[in-house]
Amino acid sequence: MHFSIPSRSADQTTLPGSPSFKAKSRASSYHGFYSLSFFIRLRSLIFDLVTSAQSATAPEKKRQSARRRLVLLTLTLFAAVMVFVTIMYLLFANITTSDPAGHHVVLVLGLDSKNYKEDYLGRIVENRREYADAQKYGLYVRNISDFKDMVHDAAKPGWYKLPLMRSAMRDNPGSTYFWYLDQNAIIMNPNLNIESHITETKRLNSLALRDIPVVPPDSNIRTYRHVPADRMKFIISQDHEGFQTGSFILKNGEYSRYVLDAWFDKLYQEYKFQKDEKSALEHLAQWHPTVLSKMAVIPQRIFNAYPNGVGDSTYQDGDFVASLAGCNTPERSCVREFERLWDNRGRVVN
């Protein structure tokens, strides 16, 4: 395209002040939005860009290649820095955010040094230690008097296990399962592994008792029928009276913190429940579906058999745990019962 530049002086008939001059100047001023000179300049700019490579002179070429080299260098440097930063981030970001590795299962034990003799307690700890070492589990032992001021009524010993479990969970953030076993119980078969025996999904699914009344014999609220076992976070058993809180398993997480804190609420402790924390748990399970929906009720013999019991809950040889609940009465003797069972226990098979 070639524009010819009309010169004003060529048109002699236009004089300042005449109407045709006004019209003409207006026309030339508002030629599109751009004046003619703009298009001319644009055209030469495009020409320059297109033909710069071929028509560049020698010093210009050197300048351009030097500049190109500089640009290339800057880009490479920038890319290298980005790669370095990414590698550093990938390598070191994980270190700050990874959880400390912990035992997969932690046994939780609370010792009542006020009411029991030291050597008896030592034997209990030895029993737990043998099991934990055989299965490579963690062991968390505390005196229940540590939690004396948290509990509302120190005369009711059943409540101590709740802050005990809570502090076990706080002190072992990397562990998955926490198994509370009462002090008055003995692990008879140390070869049984918690995962394969209880918590593994298929196994738990087969163990969980569905559609049984939460409070035997015939409470209205029953355990859920269709909740899958991988959602169960609270594993507990039931005897003929109700929930048996001497042995239960909690999975680490939001749910367990909620259940333990809600269960331990001051108003529940002050309320005159018939069986202290057992009744409180039954109350929670009946009134709050968020609690019951993640509870699995399994047969008592799995991890809380009674040696002196009747029916399904009776301890038999090869069972996992024998419970000595209620042994601190004048008729019975915890030490004697423990020693008898201790001698008959299963030995660790390597």
Partner 1 sequence: MKDKDDYLFSPVSRTSRVINRFRRLPNRVRQLILRRRILSAILFVVLCFTLVANSGVRLLPRLPWTSSKFVIILAVNQGGGVMEWKGPTEWAVERTSIANKKAYADRHGYQLAIQDMSIKKRYAHEWRESWEKVDVIRQTMKQYPKAEWFWWLDLHTYIMEPSISLEKQVFNRLENNTYRSLEDYNPLRLPVEIPFVDNTHQINLIVPQDCGGFNLGSFLIRRSEWTDFLLDIWWDPVFYEQRHMQWEHKEQDALEHMYSDQGWLRSGTAFIPQRLINAFPEGACSEQQGDKRIFYNQEERDFVVNMAGCEWGRDCYGEMEHFRKLSASLQKKSWWWPFK
Closer residue to partner 1, CB minimum distance, 89 or 271: 271
Residue 97 burial by CB count (10 A; 0-12/13-18/19+): exposed, middle or buried? Answer: exposed
Closer residue to partner 1, CB minimum distance, 120 or 273: 273
Stretch in the footprint of partner 1 (CB under 8 A) among 101-109, 240-248, 255-263, 305-313: 255-263
How far the first Cα of the chain sits from its last, in Å, is: 96
Q: Of 96-115, which residues contact partner 1 (CB under 8 A)?
A: none
Q: Of 116-175, which residues contact partner 1 (CB under 8 A)?
A: 150, 163, 166-167, 170
Residue 255 touches partner 1, criterion: CB under 8 A: yes
Q: How far is the CB of 34 from partner 1 (least distance, A)?
A: 7
Closer residue to partner 1, CB minimum distance, 122 or 173: 173
- Spatial distance between the Cα atoms of 222 and 292, rounded to a whole number of angstroms: 9
Instruction: Report whether 206 contacts 235 (CB < 8 A).
Output: no
Q: How far is the CB of 303 from partner 1 (least distance, A)?
A: 26
Residue 257 touches partner 1, criterion: CB under 8 A: yes
Closer residue to partner 1, CB minimum distance, 63 or 266: 266
Element of type H or E holding 115: none
Site string for partner 1, 27-66 (x = CB under 8 A): --x---xx---x----------------------------
Residue 283 touches partner 1, criterion: CB under 8 A: yes
The token pair at 335 is: 């030490």
The percent of the chain in helix, strand and coil, each rounded to the nearest 5, is: 50, 15, 35
Residue 271 touches partner 1, criterion: CB under 8 A: yes
Phi, psi of 85, deg, nearest 5:
-60, -40
Q: How far is the CB of 152 from partner 1 (least distance, A)?
A: 11
Helices (H), 98-200: 118-135, 161-171, 194
Stretch in the footprint of partner 1 (CB under 8 A) among 16-24, 50-58, 176-184, 334-342: 16-24
How many separate helices (H) and strands (E) can be counted in the chain?
13, 8
Quickly count: other Cβ atoms within 10 Å of residue 315's Cβ.
20
Q: Which of 267, 274, 329, 330 binds partner 1 (CB under 8 A)?
A: 267
The distance between the two most distant Cα atoms of the chain, rounded to a whole number of Å, is: 137
Q: How far is the CB of 12 from partner 1 (least distance, A)?
A: 12
Instruction: Report whether 165 contacts 180 (CB < 8 A).
Output: yes
Helices (H), 218-270: 254-263, 266-270
Give the strand order in the sheet containing 243-251. Answer: 138-143, 105-111, 177-181, 243-251, 234-238, 295-298
Residue 254 touches partner 1, criterion: CB under 8 A: yes
The token pair at 138 is: 């963690």
Q: Which of 290, 312, 340, 347 binds partner 1 (CB under 8 A)?
A: 290
Residue 270 touches partner 1, criterion: CB under 8 A: yes
Residue 262 touches partner 1, criterion: CB under 8 A: yes
Residue 265 touches partner 1, criterion: CB under 8 A: yes
Residue 213: is the preceding peptide bond cis (ω within 30°)?
Answer: no
Q: How far is the CB of 257 from partner 1 (least distance, A)?
A: 4
Q: Report DSSP state, residue 195.
A: I
Closer residue to partner 1, CB minimum distance, 231 or 340: 231
Q: Which residues pair with 305 in a beta bridge?
A: 322
Question: Residues in the site for partner 1, rule: CB under 8 A?
Answer: 8, 14, 16-17, 21-22, 25, 29, 33-34, 38, 150, 163, 166-167, 170, 254-255, 257-258, 260-262, 264-268, 270-271, 283, 287-291
